[in-house]
Amino acid sequence: MPDALDSALVALRAAGVETPRLDAEVLLADVLGVERGDLLMRDLVVEGEAIRRFQDAVRRRAVEREPVAYITGRRAFRHVELAVDPRVLVPRPETELLVELAVAALPEGARVVDVGTGSGAVALALADERPDLNVTGSDVSADALAVARANGDRLGLRVEWTLADGVPAGEWDAVVANPPYVAEGERLPPEIARHEPPGALFAGADGLDVLRRLELTAPWIALEHGAAQGDAVRALLGGAGYGDVATHRDLAGLDRVTTGARPR
Contact residues toward ligand SAM (CB under 6 A) are 88-89, 91, 95, 115-119, 121-122, 139-141, 144, 165-166, 178-180, 199-200, 210
C-alpha 224/C-alpha 207 separation (Å) is: 12
How would you classify residue 48: left for phi > 0, otherwise alpha for psi between -120 and 50, otherwise beta?
A: left
Query: Distance of CA 56 to CAs 18, 52, 139, Å?
Result: 19, 6, 33
CB of 115 to ligand SAM, least distance (A): 5
| Distance of alpha carbon 216 from the chain centroid | 22
CB nearer to ligand SAM: give 199 or 219. Answer: 199
CB nearer to ligand SAM: give 31 or 126. Answer: 126
CB of 102 to ligand SAM, least distance (A): 12
CB nearer to ligand SAM: give 25 or 139. Answer: 139
CB nearer to ligand SAM: give 63 or 251. Answer: 251
Helices (H), the chain: 2-14, 20-32, 38-41, 49-59, 68-72, 96-105, 121-129, 142-155, 190-195, 209-213, 230-239
CB of 172 to ligand SAM, least distance (A): 14
CB of 91 to ligand SAM, least distance (A): 4
C-alpha 146/C-alpha 163 separation (Å) is: 10
Angle at 256 between CA 206 and CA 152, to 5 degrees: 100
CB of 114 to ligand SAM, least distance (A): 6
CB of 197 to ligand SAM, least distance (A): 7
CB nearer to ligand SAM: give 170 or 243. Answer: 170
CB nearer to ligand SAM: give 122 or 261. Answer: 122
Q: If you ran DSSP here, which 8-state letter would residue 198 be given?
A: G
Do residues 114 and 223 touch, judged by C-beta distance below 8 A?
no
Q: How many CA atoms lie within 13 A of 241 on its CB side?
A: 8
